[in-house]
Structure 1
Amino acid sequence: MSRRRQIYEGKAKVLFEGPEPGTLITYFKDDASAFNNQKKGTITGKGVLNNRISEYLMLRLGEVGVPTHFVRRLNMREQLVREVEIIPIELVVRNVAAGSLSKRLGIKEGTHLPRSIVEYYYKNDELQNPLVSEEHITAFGWATTQDLDDMMALALRVNDFLTGLFLGIGIRLIDFKLEFGRLYHDDDMQIVVADEISPDNCRLWDGKTNEKMDKDRFRQDLGNVEAAYQEVARRLGILPEDGQGDHKGSKTLQ
């Protein structure tokens, strides 16, 4: 990696210049954070598992016509993606009350919502990623009305597909976060799903026991964090190939 130019380092990933113009290489770290970076730690092997899980889900979405920035996985911790202009808005799709929604509105965690709810958050760690409205987004030029229409349509398609996919392996998709980017090609621009889809940004509960199988185990000090991520990968049929050596890292915060 030292021979590549680093473009950006975030809380869970590092971006490097890609082998061709218009591409980037994403490196998945084992670092973990929660509560807008107020809690930090390491989940051993998380980068390997999230790389595989996100690869699998992005490929499946591509098969049903959802455009993404994903190109291919390069190795256990890296994948090649198309360079996009990230829209500074996160969409959170909620199917069941949990997390901040339960706290803000006093709805008991686990309550099935009457319909899927989509919320917008402004991507700004210094401001703790505040909840915003469509009026804020369009007034401040973070995205256009057409951008939001495209993002909303894609988010609902992703939710419909992933809900069924996870249901088929005994997992409930409680909620998840999506990021989007503008992909430019000649004179055309397309909104595509970007970043990753993994237990880092999805709430996943066991279909029978409601046991949490995502980063909430880290947030809430529930323990067995690595095991939960591994179980998601196992049910998807994508445990890393001979990857135990690459799972070594700092002591897992449990």
Structure 2
Amino acid sequence: MARRRQLYEGKAKILFEGPEPGTLVQYFKDDATAFNSQKKGTITGKGVLNNRISEYLMMRLMDIGVPTHFIRRLNMREQLIREVEIIPLEVVVRNVAAGSLSTRLGIQEGTRLPRSIIEYYYKNAALNHPLVCEEHITAFGWASTQDLDDIVALTLRINDFLSGLLLGVGITLVDFKVEFGRLYENDEMRIVLADEISPDNCRLWDSKTGEKMDKDRFRRDLGKVEEGYQEVARRLGILPEAGVRDLKGPEMMQ
């Protein structure tokens, strides 16, 4: 097994040094957290499924011209990505009232919103990722006005495309979180989609029954968490060739 230098470990993924300059290897874990890590657990096979689902959705977005950090999938749990400077914002798109939006504003969960709403959260776990506005973002230099214009344009395009794609397989895209980074190439900078798109950071409901097929099954102790993730992959036609199974991560260099 290849020895790689670990650069970062988050709640759901580990980043390793890539084989070439400007690349990283992103490893998907089975660890699950909720409520700002107050609840922790393991969802067996989640890393394998999220790797495949994120690969598929990133590639489909690239097909319509959305720039991403994704290069290719390496194996069941790893993908090769471009190294980017992550913008410290979690960009949340809401199409249907759910989660914290329902709690904050007293809107019944499941209410279709009059239009898609974009919210920004400061990416800082110590502060529990607080909700922020454009004034905060530009005043503190997390992103420029032009950066935000690019982020909004990409986010709306991603939302439109994924909403249609998922509706075609009977899934409602209730809301989702995306992250963006600055990619520097040939003395130029551009904003690209980073992180992942999977049931970990999307609310996905069956379009007919409203059954949840995402991490809310873990958050709310609904049971059959693995089955929810598997159903999303099944509908997208991308269940792993060998089925969901555990794979060890690369050996880490000290």
TM-score (structure 1 length as normaliser): 0.96
* Paired residues of 2:48 and 2:244 also in contact (CA < 8 A): no
Which residue of structure 1 lines up, in the alignment, with residue 251 of structure 2?
A: none
State the identity %: 80
Q: How does 1:12-161 map to 2 (within 5 A)?
A: 12-161=12-161
Any runs of at least 4 consecutive aligned residues in structure 1 with deviations exceeding 6 A, and if so which? none
2:152 partner SS: helix
Q: Could you tell me which amino acid in structure 1 is paired with residue 23 of structure 2?
A: T
* TM-aligned CA deviation for residue 96 of structure 1: 0.3
In 1: Cα distance, 2:186 partner to 2:247 partner: 41
CA shift at 1:187, angstroms? 1.2
In 2, Cα distance between equivalents of 1:244 and 1:174: 26
One-letter code aligned to 1:115: R
Deviation at 1:129, TM superposition (A): 0.3
**Is the CA contact (8 Å cut-off) linking 1:62 and 1:68 kept in structure 2?**
yes
- Whether the 8 Å contact between 1:25 and 1:78 is mirrored in structure 2 is yes
Secondary structure at the residue paired with 1:5?
Answer: strand
Counterparts in 2 of 1:107 and 1:244: CA distance versus 1, 3 Å:
closer
What amino acid does structure 2 have at the position aligned with 1:84? V
Higher mean alpha-carbon deviation, 185-194 vs 52-61, is at: 185-194
Task: State the alpha-carbon separation in 2 of the partners of residues 2 and 55 from structure 1.
Answer: 22
Judge conservation of contact 2:48–2:245 (CA < 8 Å) in 1: no
Aligned equivalents of 1:245, 1:141: Cα separation in 2: 43
In structure 2, the partner of 1:251 is none
Aligned length: 248
Contact 1:122 1:131 in 2 (8 A): yes
- Corresponding residue for residue 174 of structure 2: 174
2:30–2:45: 8 Å Cα contact kept in structure 1?
A: yes
Letter in structure 2 aligned against 1:59? M
Matched residues in 1 for 2:117 and 2:67: separation?
22
- Structure 2 residue runs without a partner (length 5+): 249-254
Say whether the 8 Å CA contact 2:45–2:245 is kept in structure 1: no
Q: 2:210 corresponds to which residue?
A: 210
Does the CA contact (< 8 Å) of 1:44 and 1:247 recur in 2? no
- TM-score (normalised: structure 2): 0.96
- Give the distance between the partners of 2:193 and 2:33, measured in 1 at CA: 22
* Cα contact 1:94–1:116 (8 A) shared by 2: yes
Cα-to-partner distance string for 1:123-174 (whole Å, 9 max, x where unaligned): 0011000000000000001110111110000000000000000000000000
SS at match of 1:59: helix
Rounded Cα–Cα distance in structure 1 between residues aligned with 2:74 and 2:246: 15
Contact 1:8 1:16 in 2 (8 A): yes
Residue 222 of structure 1 pairs with residue 231 of structure 2: no
